Amino acid sequence: MDHLSASQINLYLLCGLKYKFQYVDNLPKPFKSSALAFGSVFHSTLSWIHNQRMSGKDVPRETLYRIFDADWYCQKADTDIRYKEGEKELTLSLLGKEMLELYLLEPQKELKGSEVHFSVPLMHPATKEKLGIDLEGFFDLIEADDTITEFKTTAQTMNQGDVDGHIQLSAYGYAFEKLFQKPAKGFKIVNFVKKKKPKIEVFETERTAVRYEEFFFLAKEVFKGIQSKTFIPHTGYWCGDCEYGAVCPLWKHLKQPEKKAVEKECATPY
Ligand code: SF4
């Protein structure tokens, strides 16, 4: 193991067993949740918009929709998509386009980079203790003034507390400082809420040295857990979307009403 990403850290903290199924055992995924597929299509379409804008080009609606539809098609061709009860592909597709329209109405910022890859050594910011592995990932968007923007598509609204403690933003801020040898100017989460009447929420936050120390501590404990093969399952509403439910000892024997009860009783995920 030579690297960790913020999403691997989040997954380990959410459910250690799911982390093991995905990253240690490399089990095939029999399906993809509609939420994951939608998020992936939406992100790649946003990235296309940003690249167009950075090249000084327009964003013709017809092309934009074609790109969105083509990405949906690729998702379907790749694997089975599992929709939620009452959810339809067409409704999701229309919702996605409505959300893209809303985004195009937002004030435009000057941009520095879209989907920017990073790989930096994981090191305690004060003591310089090294973990011996890299932190890897992608910045969704870096604005010209060095603001890091992360895009989310969620069914629920977020709040400022979620954003202030967001592990991904701490990881990105840490990586930005290592890559560019200066702190990010600011941090933003743009959350697209997938309601019947969709909306965009924009949250701004900041990161201090203390947050980077917390992040290093988390990464170190997760790394120790993985190295010692500690993979503890954690049930909650996320189990309903888990691709490994059929092999999970805590999930596979439950009847539908029991599954519904677990999903209701969950704690908030990371
Ligand atoms: S079904 Fe739930 S507890 Fe089991 S591996 Fe998946 S997320 Fe973890």
Helix, coil or strand: residue 8: helix
Look at residue 267 and tell me whether its pLDDT is greater than 90. no
User: Is the pLDDT at 253 greater than 80, yes or no?
Assistant: yes
The arithmetic mean of pLDDT across residues 13-38, rounded, is: 96
* Section 44-51 average pLDDT: 97
User: Which atom of ligand 1 is found nearest the CA of 18?
Assistant: 5
**46 Cα–ligand 1 center, Å:** 30
Q: Which of the four CATH numbers 3.50.50.60, 3.10.20.600, 3.40.50.720, 3.90.320.10 does domain 111-227 have?
A: 3.90.320.10
Average pLDDT over residues 82-93: 90
What is the CA(155)–ligand 1 centre distance, in A? 20
pLDDT band at 86, cuts 50/70/90?
Answer: confident
d(CA 139, CA 113): 8
Beta carbons of 173 and 185 less than 8 angstroms apart: no
Task: Specify the DSSP element, H or E, that contains 94.
Answer: helix 89-105
Q: Which atom of ligand 1 is nearest to the CA of 17?
A: 5
For ligand 1, whether the C-beta of 233 sits within 6 Å is yes
pLDDT attached to residue 78: 81
Instruction: Dihedral sign for Cα 181, 185, 186, 192, please.
Output: negative
Across the range 38-62, mean pLDDT stands at: 95
Mean of pLDDT values over 27-38 = 94
Q: Residue 8 and residue 14: Cα distance in Å, rounded?
A: 10
> 11-34 burial string, b = 16+ CB within 10 Å, else e?
bbbebbbbbbbbbeeeeeeeebbb
Ligand 1 contacts CB of residue 81 (under 6 A): no
* Residue that the structure tokens 């989460």 belong to: 189
pLDDT higher than threshold 50 for residue 185: yes
Mutate to test the pocket of ligand 1, among 22, 23, 238, 241 (most ligand atoms within 8 A of CB): 238
Contacts of 267 (CB under 8 A, 6+ apart): 236
Nearest 5 degrees, angle CA 112-CA 118-CA 122? 135
Looking at residues 150-167, what average pLDDT do you find? 93
Ramachandran quadrant class, 133 (left: phi over 0; alpha: psi -120 to 50; beta: rest): beta
Joined tokens for residue 133? 């592995």
Q: How far is the CA of 11 from the centre of ligand 1 (A)?
A: 11
pLDDT band at 84 (very low <50, low <70, confident <90, very high): confident
User: Is residue 159 a contact partner of residue 205, using CB atoms and an 8 Å limit?
Assistant: no
* Dihedral angle over CA of 152, 158, 159, 165, nearest 10: -50
Percent of the chain with pLDDT over 70: 97
pLDDT higher at 264 or 55: 55
Instruction: Name the residue of 17, 22, 258, 263 to mutate for ligand 1: max ligand atoms within 8 A of Cβ.
Output: 17
Question: CATH 3.90.320.10 spans which residues of the chain?
Answer: 111-227
Atom of ligand 1 nearest to the CA of 243: 6
Give helix then strand counts, H and E, for the chain.
9, 8
pTM: 0.90
pLDDT at position 107 over 80: yes
Instruction: Report pLDDT for 196.
Output: 87
The confidence score (pLDDT) of residue 206 equals 95
Cα(251) to centroid(ligand 1), Å: 7
User: What mean pLDDT do residues 220-247 have?
Assistant: 95
236 lines ligand 1 (CB under 6 A): no
- Report in angstroms the alpha-carbon separations of 252 from 30, 64, 82, 240, 258: 14, 41, 17, 11, 11
Whole-angstrom Cα distance, residue 133 to residue 122? 6
- Mutating to test ligand 1, I would choose from 11, 12, 14, 18 the residue with most ligand atoms within 8 A of its C-beta, which is 18
